[in-house]
Amino acid sequence: MILGPLIRNEQMKIMDRTRTLVMWGLLILAVCLLAIGQRLILVSGAPVDMWEFAEGCTHLLFIVQLFTLVVAGDIISSEFSWGTAKLLLIRPVSRTKILLSKFAAVLTFLLAGMAVLLLASLLFGAVFFRWTGSGDALESLKSLASTYGLYGVEVMVTASLAFMLSAVSRSSTLSVGLSIFLFFSGAFLSELLKTWGVSWGKYLLFANLDLSPYFLGHSPPFPGMSLGHSLSVLAIHFALFHLITWWAFVKRDVLI
């Protein structure tokens, strides 16, 4: 059986849940409130066109990341919580394909969330500010694509962590809660080790998630870090997360 129908089935499961519309509604509301606030306050440096406003809205990508962690941390464990795991696993489809379709659905949710944020930021930017500014629209679009792309890599890796926890724990509350806790505590730990000058902090996952310093000419969090180093750390963690997920879901005995 090809993956297409399986992926669409998982996408429908995500879309049919009320929380998905609530998540996207909150995201659009956040963009709207930001536009209204900046338009009313008119502080120095406020956006002068929709492209600059859209650039400012990239700070809201962390909301997309949080929502993606919730979906990734719930997509496997919810099958056991709802008692639908038996119906899922008795189908004439390998567990590996089921696993791949679920992670593919998580990635499509991530892309959809990014698309909602981008379109909302451009729409409200055009409504509340000027359509065009003194800058080059093409360059602005390239900058946005770069920012979204780099952040997408970060979210994909952290979503893999939540996906693994969902497969291992089989408890939606535990996997989602632990994923969000690690998301915040990991970043805090990296900053703490950076402040203390602990060199081995450069091998931590959360110290390597942000790839933007390598493209913006900024200094990395720890000395000795490079783009190759960060990509290697991310690749190792990504592979490890999915190996554990595969073992927990495919190879381990499942009581259904």
In this prediction, residue 217 carries a pLDDT of: 87
Average pLDDT over residues 46-54: 80
Q: Are 35 and 128 in contact (CB under 8 A)?
A: yes
| Residue 249 domain boundaries | 2-254
Q: What is the pLDDT of residues 109-120, one digit of tens each?
A: 999 999 999 999
Q: If pLDDT is split at 50, 70 and 90, which confidence band does 44 have?
A: low
- Look at the chain and report how many structural domains it folds into: 1
CB atoms within 10 A of CB 87: 11
Backbone angles phi, psi at 49, to 5 degrees: -150, 175
Which residues have CB under 8 Å from 23's CB, separation 6+?
A: 67, 70, 113
Four-residue CA torsion sign, 80, 86, 87, 92? positive
CB atoms within 10 A of CB 97: 16
Q: What is the pLDDT of residues 119-137, one digit of tens each?
A: 999 999 999 887 765 567 7
d(CA 157, CA 209): 8
Q: If pLDDT is split at 50, 70 and 90, which confidence band does 251 have?
A: confident
In this prediction, residue 254 carries a pLDDT of: 58
pTM score of the predicted model = 0.92
d(CA 183, CA 162): 10
User: Burial level of 9, CB count in 10 A (0-12/13-18/19+)?
Assistant: middle
User: C-alpha distances in angstroms, 161 versus 3, 23, 211?
Assistant: 22, 21, 18
User: Is the pLDDT higher at 102 or at 52?
Assistant: 102
- The tokens for 226 are 């490079």
